[in-house]
Structure 1
Amino acid sequence: MDHGGAETFDLLGFSLGAAVATRLAALHPDRVERLILVGGFVSGHDPRSQLQFRHWADLAKRDPASLARLMLLTGFSHAFLAGIGDVESVVADMVASSNWQGIGRQAELDFQVDVSQDLANVRAHTLVLGNRYDQMVDPRAAIKLANGISGATLEWIEGPHLALMEAPMSVADLVTQHLHD
């Protein structure tokens, strides 16, 4: 934003990006006007998150195809996956086109994240979008985010963690509404 000359801006973060956006909004409360957190979490320290993210980091190193399958299984709904057809070709494309070292590093960062101390410092007009059928991030994490940020609004997407890909118009409608409030 500095390079682009923007003094103030709106910010959207998804999943781990929601933690990054939260930290930025807390560190720069005078610059972030509107904040949107989608499928985010406060901390990766709970036992389930630790298990999941360590498993992802391990699979990213040893067996990217298995991690790709796991991400599809837990990221999308049954109905969405049923409509894909040849899932193994999607897995092959993911394996061939993804940076698995980077994905492994991201998973390692996921289990270290903790923005709990940042929540009280966020001043932006905030919308938290929880994914009601999320299998990657506990949907209760959205409640914790919204409760920790003064004045935040919590809305629910009737979808999985990857609702941004599965139901983009539902997400876009909520985002657009928030940006025009």
Structure 2
Amino acid sequence: MPQLEVDGAALTYDDEGPRDAPEVPLVFVHGWTANRHRWDHQIAHFAERRRVIRLDLRGHGESTGAGVRTIAELARDVLALLDHLKAERFVLVGHSMGGMIAQTIALAHPERVERMVLVGSIARMTYSRARGLLMAVSTLVPYRLFVAANIQRAFAPGHPRDEIRAHIRASAATPREVVMTLYGAMRAFDVLDRAGEIGTPTLMVHGYHDVQLPVRQMLRMAKAYPDAVVRILDAGHELPLEKPAELTAVLDRFVSEKA
């Protein structure tokens, strides 16, 4: 797999599909503890007719590196890769933390983002006092238990347990420093007051059973956006894994619309 050196990290990425396609590239950004293969279904579908780019964020998957402490720093990594690949304008698709990265890029460089898709993502993490205390206490348990608890609750009830266990193992392979630091970065992320500045046509796809980032928080964000479309699927937080075909179909309709 090709890699790009960026500020002490080696970012692994895929750049597939026809370079001469008339549409701008689709750029897929995964979430916390995940990797670029979250998007396998979407890549297989879209790469037949348009350019698609995805990466493992630093410290995730096959990328090396650590040290980032904010979502903005991850956004700079993504932009460095897109500059390297000469992708001047693109459609951004981000899941969870990847959606936070997408919003950061859209705010900083609106001229480069043709459209944006936020999958299971929000503009501000909000906790009740009880849930905030629970989340704080969860960081004190052994690392693997912390990861297992967070991944387990990311899926809707009834999802196959063997698949959940496989994803827990994959997530736990992400270095502890990366996982815990970016956990804090997500909790600190807050662009809700600036959401009205994002005029980019945006699709927000959310799982009805998402307890990680509840639907009501996404809807509050959607109200602030000047140009947002909302789609709710019968799933939890891990939409790319729980409903890959449905998510691909929703994305396809949105990105195929004429401006």
How would you bin the TM-score normalised by the shorter chain?
0.7 to 0.9
Q: Which runs of 5 or more residues in structure 2 are unaligned?
A: 1-81
Secondary structure, aligned partner of 1:35: strand
Greater mean deviation of Cα atoms: 64-73 or 5-14: 64-73
- For the aligned residue pairs, the C-alpha RMSD in angstroms reads 2.3
Question: 2:204–2:228: 8 Å Cα contact kept in structure 1?
Answer: yes
Aligned position for 1:12: 93
Question: 1:27–1:121: 8 Å Cα contact kept in structure 2?
Answer: no
Q: Distance in 2 between matches of 1:149 and 1:64?
A: 37
Does the alignment pair 1:31 with 2:112?
yes
The amino acid across from 2:255 in the alignment is L
Aligned position for 1:173: 249
After superposition, the C-alpha distances for 1:103-143 in whole angstroms (9 at most, x for unaligned) are 10111111111011331121211101121100111111221
Aligned position for 2:136: 54
Q: Distance in 2 between matches of 1:177 and 1:37?
A: 15
Secondary structure, aligned partner of 1:179: helix
Question: 1:8–1:33: 8 Å Cα contact kept in structure 2?
Answer: yes
Q: Which runs of 5 or more residues in structure 1 are unaligned?
A: none
Does the alignment pair 1:107 with 2:183?
yes
The amino acid across from 1:14 in the alignment is H
**Structure 1 residue runs of 4+, over 4 Å off?**
89-94
Question: 2:154–2:210: 8 Å Cα contact kept in structure 1?
Answer: yes
Identity %: 20
Q: Per chain length, whose mean CA-contact separation is higher, i.e. which structure has more relative contact order (CA < 8 Å, sep 6+)?
A: 1
Q: Distance in 1 between matches of 2:167 and 2:210?
A: 21
Secondary structure, aligned partner of 2:84: coil
The amino acid across from 2:149 in the alignment is L
Aligned position for 2:142: 63
Distance 1:172 1:93, change over 3 A: closer
The amino acid across from 2:87 in the alignment is A
After superposition, the C-alpha distances for 1:78-98 in whole angstroms (9 at most, x for unaligned) are 32134x2894x7655543x22
Q: Distance in 1 between matches of 2:216 and 2:175?
A: 30
Secondary structure, aligned partner of 2:83: coil
> Which has the larger helix fraction?
1
The amino acid across from 1:120 in the alignment is G
- TM-score, normalized by length of structure 2? 0.61
Q: Distance in 1 between matches of 2:169 and 2:251?
A: 32
Q: Distance in 2 between matches of 1:4 and 1:109?
A: 27
Question: 1:120–1:149: 8 Å Cα contact kept in structure 2?
Answer: yes
Q: Distance in 2 between matches of 1:145 and 1:109?
A: 19
Distance 1:141 1:90, change over 3 A: closer
Equivalent of residue 159 in structure 1, options 227, 235, 245: 235
Shift of 1:33: 0.4
The amino acid across from 1:34 in the alignment is R
- TM-score, normalized by length of structure 1? 0.85
Shift of 1:150: 0.6
Shift of 1:102: 0.7
Distance 1:66 1:128, change over 3 A: same
The amino acid across from 2:155 in the alignment is F
